[in-house]
Amino acid sequence: MSLFFVIIIAIGWIFSRIYGNPTILYIFVFFSFIMNFISYWYSDKIALTMSRAIPVKSKEENPYLWNMVENLCITAGLPMPKLYIIPENQINAFATGRNPKNAAIAVTQGALSKLENQELEGVLAHELSHIGNRDILVSTIAVVLAGIISILADFFLRMTFWSRGDRDRDNNGIFMLIGIALAILAPIGATLIQLAISRKREFLADATGALLTRYPEGLASALEKIQKDASPMQVASDATAHLWISNPFKNKMSGLHKLFMTHPPIEERIKILRGMNI
């Protein structure tokens, strides 16, 4: 995450030189710390709210899901996460939270109704692996900081073109050009970093989840069903797409979504799982 902070501070430093005002840099540094604090403590609540997730407050509400997650947690040596069900027909799930003691797993109603026991177990083991590997913290902070960089870069790019003080800008022509280039390229760079993190962590969670269940075919079969499932996701959002086990946009992905894919190809994931010898 230090790379995100470097990008944010670099943008602040460039624009502080352009406008001859060091206060801008201090604002950037302060803003980055505040947003990191918010993303650390509240990103899980934001993701669950955006997904309209409904909490499972006790075993009695859904003993099937509760018992399966509880058994996997005992095997993995992890504390029991909070459980949520998302009223969507698409087969999908995600994990969120800042650490294993403050984690949550959300599964769609479609996953509960369409997957067989071993398939659902594979999906849940995948999400528990994200928790155990602390991927959920890395991913949630990555998406928040990528958004911050995009917002700040856009704000100062607009200031560059609309603010007055031509004389001062002429005296800082080099920094002006660097600032414009940074404001344009920084959001793209931040997004690519976020996506690279997401894709790498998906492969790791697949492998770790397969080791947890000792049955890679369960997750592989679930991924095949996910790939064939054409059900739309009403709560699909670019802000949370990287959290799901599979991209929620499915076949409706535009050219831009395909260019900035948050997940590795499902075919490749299935091939790797079926090549594992456990």
Q: Of 127, 202, 217, 267, which residue is the catalytic one?
A: 127
Rg (CA), the chain: 21
3-state secondary structure of 105: strand
Calpha distance 215→80 (Å, rounded): 22
127 in active site? yes
Q: Are 125 and 72 in contact (CB under 8 A)?
A: yes
Strands 103-108 and 54-56: unpaired
| Three-point CA angle 149, 134, 194, nearest 5° | 25
Q: Identify the helix (H) or strand (E) that includes residue 275.
A: none
The token duo for 124 is 């849940």
Q: Report whether 37 contacts 148 (CB < 8 A).
A: no
131 contact partners, CB below 8 Å, separation of at least 6: 78, 81, 95, 97, 100, 103, 105
β-strand pairing of 54-56 with 82-86: antiparallel
Are 135 and 198 in contact by the 8 Å Cβ rule? The answer is no
Active site residues: 127
